[in-house]
Structure 1
Amino acid sequence: MKRKGREHAPETVWKAQELYCVARLTFREVAKQSGVAESTVKRWAVKHEWRDKRERIARAECDIRADLVLARSEMIKSLMKSKDAQTGFAVASLENLAIKQAEFQRAGIIADVATQYEKRPIGSVKDAVLALREAVEKKLGLLLASPDDVNFKAIADIQKALKLLAEMEAAHNVNQEDAPNKGMTADLAAKIRELM
C-alpha cells in the first residue's frame, strides 16, 4: 500500500503563493520561509498557475504606479488653473507623502502610515482643524501605500473632510495667528468624528 504524502494547510499554500507572486521571492526562498520542500512549492506553482499570476500582479502594480503619477500630475495642473485651497492642500499632502514613500522605498523600509501620527486631544476648533488635517494626510498616505483601496467612497470621504476643513478655517479664522482658541459645538464635533 502506497503511503500518501503529508497534506499542507491551505493557509500555507496561499502564503507561499503570496511570497512567490507578490513578494517575488524565488522558489528556494519561498520554501525556506514557508517551511515546505522546494519541490512542493514548484508543484503548487504549476497547479495554481503562479507564474501567470506573478506576471499579472507585477503588471498591475506598474500600472497603478503610473496611474498615481498621472493623477498627481492632473491634480497639480488643476491647482495651477483653479488656485483652490482644498486642491492645494490635497496636492501638497499627496506630494509630501509621495516623497516620503520614495524615501522609504530607497531605504528599503515599508512605511506604516497608520502609525505615523499620534491621536491628539481635541478641546478647541484649532485642535480640531489640526486633527482633521492630520486625518486627511493619514488617509492620503494609506491610499498611496495601498492603491487597491482607492475607490469613490475613499475619494468622497477626503473631499468631505477637505470641505469641512475649509469651512472650519474660514468660519473660525483658524489660520490667523491671533485666532481665539474657542470650544466646538456638538454638531461640529460629530461631523469631525464621522469623517475621522
Structure 2
Amino acid sequence: MSRPLNDHDAIRAQLMDAAEEMVRARGAINLSLSEVAAACGMSQSSFYRYFPSKEAFFEAIAGRWFEELNQIMEEVVASDLPPREKLFQFFARRVAVKRARFEADPALFKANMDLGEEHWEVIRGYVDLADHYMAMILGEAMAEGYFPGYDLDHVVSLTNLMVQPFCNPTVMMDMIRIATPDNLRIVIDTLFEGLAVHQAASSDATNVTALRAIS
C-alpha cells in the first residue's frame, strides 16, 4: 500500500502533473519551469522549495514514468520462473504497461519519449538498470547450459537487437501491431533455440555493436 501524500509530496505531484499537461498540449521542447510554477499558482523561486534544480525535476518525472516498470523487473528477476519464461515475462509485462499508456494517450506517450530524448542523461540510469536485470536473467540461462560458447555481453547485445519492438518505446510506437505477446514468445524461443548449438566463433562475432534497451 502506498503511503498517503503529505503537503510537500502533494505539491511535488501537482507540479509534475502541470508539466505533464503542458507536454501533452504542446510537446516536450523547452518546457519552462517558470510556466510550470505559474500553472500551480507559485513563483519560480517557490518552485525550488520542492525541486532544487531543473535536473531534479526531470529526474522526478522520469522516476514516476519508470516506477511501475522497475517494480515489474524486480518481481520477475526475483521469481522462481525458469530463465526462458523469466525473460519472456521481463518484456511481456512491461510492454503491456507501455501499450496501455500508448493506447490511452498516444500524443502524451510520444511527448514523453521526446522529453526522454531531450534529457537522456536523466534516464540513462534506468536504461542501465534494465540491461543489468536482463543480464542477470541471461546469466541464469547460461548457468543452466544455454548459449554455449557465447559470452554474456554478446548474448545481451543479440537479445537487445531482437527485442527492440518490445522494449524500445520509440520503436514500439511504429510497430505496435506486431509487438504482441505471441510474437514476443516466438522471438524469445528463437533466441534460446537459435543459439542452442554454438558455431565456431567467426570474425563477425567480434564485431557486434553493443545495444541498449530503452525501458
Give the TM-score range, shorter chain.
Answer: 0.3 to 0.5
Question: What's the TM-score, normalizing by structure 2?
Answer: 0.30
Larger radius of gyration: 1
Higher relative contact order (CA 8 A, sep 6+): 2
Question: What's the TM-score, normalizing by structure 1?
Answer: 0.33
